[in-house]
Structure 1
């Protein structure tokens, strides 16, 4: 043999010789070439027949793929012939050499067993699948035969040698593996047998013996027919008949006693049945009453549903009023206007005071002069009442202006909201009882002409966090400058619960808006759907000492504005 692959026993023909029939790459197996192997088909690294040949562009030589891969792992890979440097980028598959190697003629790997066939490497696998000298396993391997024989001797093995070949049972004709014939005969229902009780029954099969023992054998053990009535006699079947004829009186007493017990049981069953019937009638009445109550409850529920719908409408109306009020706040007069109203109010108060002084003087002068000043006094009182009404109107307007001004003063225009929530315990109780499920913060803005936003908090949680967590959400509101702003809203949002001790343990969550969500589209109503964290922080943590002080918590919302270009 002039050249070969590494050795593998040729008996296991189930494994293919090639990974791909067109490539000499597959598991190592000795090849016996019919002619001397030319040097151009040998790998310059291992000296064996090329396997999956590769050619180097640098030197033009051919190598086995595996040999070349191993050589390229070295620090300075070089061709062993001309010492040219080798690189992975300068290597390509040599399909021409691969086809030529596939046509090389080799002897069958079963040549020593007698096969004289010669075939090309490409056709060798196809021949091995049919070679009559190839060693194969017995077809009864799954049943226990581990013998391996040449394919040409398999028929002889199956016919004369295999201990697991199928043979018909001489009694029942069922096909049984030869090695299991003895065990089958011991259990075969058609095998000849005799009565084990020694009653001289012969010439019958095993299955007939079993029937004989059950129904006929006089030596078989049997119970008295009155066994169910209490008779305990047991013995050979011939003795049982004699016992039954001699013990008739005792058997009749047993039957009579059983009948009496049955009548007693029957009476007891009738009594229990009557009780069950009475309970059934009682249950029936109860069910009827409960059905009536359920009908009444349904009617009440429908009324409650109507009331709830009405309340929901009222809540919607109140929400609309609140949104309108917030819009009004945006158009509220400036601080100078409020100061002007205050000055007007001071002037009115001074006028009233002067009028009161004049009235006092007039009353003093006219105390002894009869009705000279009565007309003047009435006129003054009328003027005073008018001034009081004007003063009341100005007080109301001033209070409204103060409230609007306070809201405007707390509004933020740098994308940061600092929200102080007082009376936490009361507000949490309102949320738990369903009176006020959520709270809205005052609006804040990314700039004077920027996005309008607010925060929404559920102190008793919402969705997955209901009852266990505080849920915090971010809301995009409709603003006056939305037409000039880019949409959807894309700014990074950070939600925070502030630590009131040393400020080192703030709890925060940050998210970037989903551009496809309707929560961040341009608002078509007063505000979009809230988006945020249903499981922002557990209620146990919120009510811990660093975050809840003086029944107050602080929430902070930060909207990234550094990359925002104004309108």
Structure 2
């Protein structure tokens, strides 16, 4: 246009004509495109069977108000419009006409008065089938609305538009499929079916040593199912899965009793089975109920059911069949990953291995109690302390290094033996018979010579001492008995003393009565004071604990807010360093923590509040093979000053620290009709983004994974404020 204005008049006229022709051709092409689009929608939506079933819309309540059928009062399917302005489904209208060409209008006209209603053509001449025409505008709008996948209950989190719903459901990995094994009627998502078949209680295992196929229940004599999630075979072709039949001491036993309790013994289920009514039981508990029977009445409580619902349960109608018990693989797998106390904890073992590793740990635990091998010693000590105990045990046998004879340590027999036998003597000093011979020497040879040369004198001294003892015993035994008068006199004197002592004791008891009564009163008062002190201390302790708990919570909030302030950015750019990538991905694969959130960031100081959500093992179509990144809009303090729905462009980047040109980028524009980009009513909206952002092979290459860390950047286009900074500055000036 600038060139035309700057040119001569003739040139200007020619260019104006050319410009008008171009605009006419553009408008003609646009109208033709609308017409072809209208025709394609009309032909596919109203004459075909692709959109004749009503899906589960995400915004169903709002759509019922805007696009509700006047007959069924639900969202219209294949919408048609009547001359009186009502919108109806094609199927509903065909049912009303029922092979007739003209009928009385069956639709409500609550917004018209009687005079207006009489003037309506549908009331005067009736409603003609030819007068009901398709409504392609409504159909186009509805085809863009997002819906829930019908496999949502099996784990699908995709929300495709209605137009692409059928295509998505044809390839959805969460389509339910029934287990083909006879006796197993469970439904599983398509992606989980093969794993279930490999672990199914009713599946068929191929033995390496035989071509004959056996049920899993017959693979191990006396066992009804494998205790691990998959059947492992050793080199000989035999199953090598250990049996976890003994219940360990779980660290989180209280929580596990709530989640995985046996309905019979009320403890954590061991070798858990699930029965038809949904209850979980231990193998031993339910087998005790069966006994030698194969069919019994369900012995489990059903307190959460009323009588009518209970009568309809299969376990009440048909009873419980022993062959119909299903091993709960998922519960067993979860419990095997739970930490337990070692059996040797009371002997000092601090280890807390997983249940799956408990048996291996206890086989080599150094705190295993061991019985002392010494005769008459009943003490048990830890395996690591056994050697030191043997060196100090009083029941140990000491061996003479010369004559090789053994002696009990408790009676110091070795020392006596060495000191009384010159050939075994090892240390100089006093003679053992020093009390009789008074000989001592600092030289070992002199002491040995003295012992050898004076053996007879030592024996004589011992004999003299034995004779003295013998004569003393005889004198005691042969003491003459005194006459009867002296005995009686002594007895009388003793009785007088006893009577005198008894009178004194009685007087003391009478004098002590008031003292004892006063003591009883003091004791009762003391117990009352102690009770009051204890109650007050308990109350104060509870108050102190409550105040301490509140203080710790406040400190945690302050610490989190300080971290947020330190890491937060206000330029619309987030650089997120994900540490411990391998561990976090492993947690996602095991299902412990499927996703992680970044710290929040803002487009400006008073702009949108946002964060990033990452699925390291992928989500939706990218599960198990891709890194999934999602954008999350959060509730901010200045949302009243911002435009909604959110329309800013969002760019995800996986940064390559060594070579920025190799970084991966992906950009998307928010859908203004999606609830993910409306003003947040809760803490954060539903995440939206790229489920197939980058393959795991690329993310875990040396370009992106550095020191077990990856770097993710999220860049948001600035804008969206009702009062931009420049305008505020102008108003202030």
**TM-score w.r.t. length of structure 2:** 0.25
Higher RCO structure, 1 or 2 (CA under 8 Å, sep 6+): 1
**TM-score w.r.t. length of structure 1:** 0.32
Larger gyration radius, structure 1 or structure 2: 1
